[in-house]
């Protein structure tokens, strides 16, 4: 009797244990993760698009669409859609701000639904992909970051995780496709290899293991941990750099070495991204890179994320036990069509991967590049070169009549996150993203002639423009007369030493003036500059004497 009871108990435990090799729960985790990134991205768009690409933005998307329209022959047709895929072509341009807000709000609503419920279908995920595509393709410079294409590729793959219409966490007639799971795994392999190869082929400091001596201080938007990580001992920085190479160049190949090795790679990549999240503000890039890493895990390994009884986990156990007993659903026409779709996806991704793989093998590797307008399969990479010194552009304004007057008082504008005030603690915003702050990092090691939009900002500050000022943290002329002159000063920044007298005074940064970034400008002097670039000239404030 005792052996019989033992056998029965063991059998019951087996029935309550998730099997390996299925991906029902993996699908739920993937969809919720993609939805979270979409929610962040659309939130950024809702809060910043009007100021950047809206009716009165720094680079109005209406102007861009009109230039595309002229380029393709003056008509809104297939040529225009092929050049710039966006549903904005179909909308009324008389209120572009409303269009941009509508797209962002729709994206936020759909992504929030998927995030909260864990349910999605191809219609919802396809709509999210189209909506974000519509913003990225008109975002111009402000949407030029590599993670935009990475989100579009990840979002495209997520469409094929779902049933066409059904809204269920565990749609029994639509099991997760192993092909789709492997497209996510192929994505993380390409992301990491692209990042690793661009480093090895790039800056010398990646080869002599010294890049991390500089990275934390010179990255686009440091956070508070960056301050302390920068002061780590030299041997730790060497260890970090070497570990980076192993994680990006060796571990991706574990994906192809069986279940356990694939999970090892997934765990290593997730841990790596968490370290990057903790040590800097890299927008939602690292959060997004975690998503395809999740595809390295099956239901048995992700079961701990779900309640033991009821819900999705119970439904998956029932499906697995029925399959083990030989009770599988009878194939339907819909299921057969789904197989055709999955095979077509594999062929499409394989074909579009050819130039991407060729790029990885090339000594002239390009990073963050798309070879087709829909950005379905892209190249990736980051920090191929490391800046050894941090420079910042600081906007200053004065009420003085004469900008050359040695008695003129110049007051500084502060951005939301980028370094400025040496007493201000570095911000912590990831996965959120301040697009202007990031672009100011690039502008600092270019000239204002190369970044003309910097002068556009100066003109808006001279007119006390509310749209641009909403992208800043501090306007020194708030509630006062607007400045008569604005200039850009160039400074070199470095972290203060913890425990030093500067740190004791509350300084996070030390800075030294390099020189002028752009000379003092006023509204009248900018009139010709603005007209030559077809920018609307800011009005002269009424309170100006």
Q: What is the pLDDT of residue 541?
A: 64
DSSP classification of residue 370: B
Nearest Cα to 517, choosing from 472, 494, 487?
A: 487
Q: What is the pLDDT of residue 4?
A: 54
Query: What is the separation, in whole angstroms, between the first and last Cα of the chain?
Result: 102
The 3-state DSSP class for residue 514 equals strand
Q: What is the pLDDT of residue 431?
A: 97
Give the integer Cα–Cα distance in Å for 122 and 143.
25
Instruction: Please list, in sequence order, all residues whose beta carbon lies within 8 angstroms of the beta carbon of residue 422, skipping any fewer than 6 positions away.
Output: 493, 496, 507, 508, 509, 510, 511
DSSP classification of residue 425: P
Report the chain's C-alpha Rg in angstroms. 27
CA separation, residue 56 to residues 104, 456, 535 (Å):
18, 12, 10
pTM over the 0.85 mark: yes
Q: What is the pLDDT of residue 107?
A: 99
Give the integer Cα–Cα distance in Å for 84 and 138.
7
In the predicted model, residues of the chain with pLDDT beneath 70 are: 1-15, 309, 540-545
Q: What is the pLDDT of residue 12?
A: 56
The residues spanned by each domain of the chain are 24-361, 390-532
Q: For helices 178-200 and 333-361, what crossing angle results, to 10°?
A: 10
Q: Taking a C-beta distance cutoff of 8 angstroms, is the pair 182, 159 a contact?
A: no
Nearest Cα to 262, choosing from 342, 185, 314?
A: 185
Strand partners, 390: 493
């Amino acid at each position: 009797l005792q052996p019989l009871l033992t056998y029965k108990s063991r059998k019951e435990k087996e029935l309550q244990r998730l099997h390996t090799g299925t991906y029902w729960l993996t699908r739920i985790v993937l969809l919720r993760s993609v939805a979270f990134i979409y929610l962040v991205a659309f939130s950024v768009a809702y809060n910043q698009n009007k100021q950047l690409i809206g009716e009165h933005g720094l680079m109005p998307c209406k102007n861009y669409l009109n230039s595309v329209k002229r380029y393709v022959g003056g008509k809104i047709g297939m040529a225009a859609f092929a050049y710039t895929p966006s549903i904005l072509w179909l909308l009324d341009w008389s209120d572009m701000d409303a269009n941009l807000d509508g797209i962002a709000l729709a994206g936020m609503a759909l992504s929030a639904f998927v995030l909260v419920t864990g349910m999605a279908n191809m219609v919802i995920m396809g709509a999210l992909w189209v909506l974000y595509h519509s913003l990225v393709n008109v975002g111009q410079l402000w949407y030029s970051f590599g993670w935009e294409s990475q989100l579009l590729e990840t979002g495209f793959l997520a469409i094929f995780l779902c049933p066409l219409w059904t809204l269920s966490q565990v749609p029994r007639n639509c099991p997760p496709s192993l092909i789709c799971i492997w497209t996510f795994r192929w994505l993380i392999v390409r992301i990491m290899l692209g990042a690793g190869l661009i480093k090895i082929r790039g800056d010398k400091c990646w080869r002599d293991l010294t890049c991390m001596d500089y990275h934390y201080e010179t990255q686009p938007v440091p956070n508070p941990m960056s301050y302390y990580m920068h002061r780590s001992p030299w041997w730790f920085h060497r260890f970090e750099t070497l570990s980076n190479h192993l994680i990006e160049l060796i571990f991706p190949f574990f994906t192809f070495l069986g279940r356990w090795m694939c999970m090892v790679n997934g765990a290593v990549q997730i841990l790596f991204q968490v370290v990057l999240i903790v040590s800097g503000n890299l927008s939602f890039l690292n959060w997004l890179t975690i998503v395809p890493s999740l595809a390295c895990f099956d239901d048995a390994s992700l079961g701990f994320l779900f309640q033991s009884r009821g819900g999705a986990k119970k439904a998956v156990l029932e499906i697995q036990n029925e399959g083990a007993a030989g009770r599988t659903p009878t194939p339907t026409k819909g299921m057969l069509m789904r197989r055709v779709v999955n095979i077509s996806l594999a062929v499409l991704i394989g074909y579009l991967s050819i130039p991407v793989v060729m790029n990885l093998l090339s000594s002239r590797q390009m990073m963050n590049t798309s070879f087709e307008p829909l950005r379905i399969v892209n190249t990736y990479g980051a920090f191929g070169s490391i800046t050894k010194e941090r420079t910042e552009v600081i906007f200053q304004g004065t009420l003085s009549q004469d900008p050359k007057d040695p008695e003129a008082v110049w007051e500084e504008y502060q951005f939301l996150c980028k370094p400025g005030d040496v007493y201000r603690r570095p911000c912590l915003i990831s996965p959120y993203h301040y697009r202007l702050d990031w672009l100011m990092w690039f502008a600092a090691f270019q000239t204002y002639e190369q970044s003309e939009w910097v002068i556009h900002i100066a003109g808006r500050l001279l007119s006390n423009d509310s749209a641009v000022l909403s992208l800043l943290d501090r306007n020194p002329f708030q509630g006062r007369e607007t400045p008569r002159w604005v200039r850009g000063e160039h400074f070199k920044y470095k972290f203060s030493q913890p425990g030093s007298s500067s740190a004791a005074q509350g300084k996070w940064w030390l800075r030294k003036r390099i020189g002028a970034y752009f000379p003092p400008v006023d509204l009248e002097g900018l009139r010709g500059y603005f007209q030559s670039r077809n920018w609307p000239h800011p009005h002269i404030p009424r309170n100006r004497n």
